């Protein structure tokens, strides 16, 4: 049996046993009640508030054992670590709503399309699609890993708090222009997004209250944290690959 600090041992009705990962859940107070955010893996997370569940970029490499199905699914882009039909099916239930960019809706045809710059509301949430794209990096000259207009980052507002999920992006002008972000989730992995130094420089520009590195496999997160030392930004590092 693995140590209890790594796994929770739960007894279910009928005597069935379930192992579930001990997940690093963060809670944020808002005027409408707490928002709880659970890292799942890489760019995948679960958000809970007001009795509703949001899954972001569900991915089959994540551990979904014991997690509730989604009331809302947000998808950022067409790459397999963001658009995974098998994982989407796993967290879908009757009535699940999906919001995604048009490029994703070609595969996930049930999705409501939200284009860069557009806003919508769902339950007590406001959902805004923010551009996510590469400025310089791509697989070949003249090509980018993420083309402008194809994918969405999202700003989610609930109870007066604004949560920014950047998606796969470099430090774009649209990111730098963001205002009043309470909590930000920022990618930093090469060759697809940014270095930790570049990510920190972009974060300094829009100055969220709290920032989490995510989508960071292989990156030195201490470089990111040190670059933001003294800014007043609360840098929180958690294991997105447990």
Q: State which fold the 24-235 domain adopts.
A: Metallo-beta-lactamase; Chain A (3.60.15)
pLDDT given for residue 215 in this prediction: 94
Instruction: State the DSSP string of 55-118.
Output: EES--TTS--TTPPPPSEEE---SSTTT--HHHHHHH--TT-EEEE-HHHHTTSTTPEE--TT-
67-109 confidence digits (pLDDT tens)? 999 999 999 999 978 999 999 999 999 999 999 999 999 999 9
Mean pLDDT, range 189-217, rounded to an integer: 96
Mean pLDDT, range 169-184, rounded to an integer: 97
CA–CA dist 201, 172 (Å, integer)? 11
pTM: 0.90
pLDDT tier at 5 (50, 70, 90 boundaries)?
Answer: very low
Q: Which of 124, 48, 43 is nearest to 76 (CA)?
A: 43
CA–CA dist 59, 82 (Å, integer)? 7
Largest CA distance in the chain: 60
pLDDT given for residue 22 in this prediction: 76
Is residue 156 predicted with pLDDT exceeding 90? yes
**Phi first, then psi: what are they for 195, rounded to 5°?**
-80, 160
42-65 confidence digits (pLDDT tens)? 999 999 999 999 999 999 999 999
Residue spans per domain, the chain: 24-235
Determine which of 10-14, 71-75, 104-108, 133-137 has the lowest per-residue pLDDT on average.
Answer: 10-14
């Amino acid at each position: 049996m693995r140590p209890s600090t790594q796994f929770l041992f739960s007894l279910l009705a009928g005597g069935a046993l379930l192992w579930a990962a001990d997940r690093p859940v963060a809670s944020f107070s808002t005027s409408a009640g707490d928002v709880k955010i659970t890292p799942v893996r890489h760019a995948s997370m679960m958000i809970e508030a007001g009795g509703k569940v949001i899954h972001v970029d569900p991915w089959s490499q994540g551990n979904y054992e014991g997690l509730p199905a989604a009331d809302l699914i947000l998808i950022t882009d067409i790459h397999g670590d963001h658009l995974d039909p098998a994982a989407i099916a796993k967290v879908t239930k009757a009535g699940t709503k999906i919001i995604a960019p048009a490029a994703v809706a070609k595969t996930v045809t049930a999705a409501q399309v939200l284009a860069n710059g557009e806003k919508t509301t769902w339950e007590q949430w406001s959902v805004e699609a923010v551009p996510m794209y590469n400025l310089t990096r791509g697989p070949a000259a003249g090509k980018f890993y993420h083309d402008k207009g194809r994918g969405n980052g999202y700003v989610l507002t609930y109870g007066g708090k604004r949560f920014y999920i950047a998606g796969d992006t470099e430090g774009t002008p649209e990111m730098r222009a963001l205002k009043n972000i309470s909590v930000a989730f920022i990618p930093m992995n090469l060759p697809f997004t940014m270095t930790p130094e570049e990510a920190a420089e972009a974060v300094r520009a829009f100055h969220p209250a709290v920032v989490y590195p995510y989508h960071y496999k292989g990156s030195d997160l201490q470089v990111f944290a040190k670059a933001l030392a003294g800014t007043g930004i609360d840098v929180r590092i958690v294991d997105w690959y447990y």
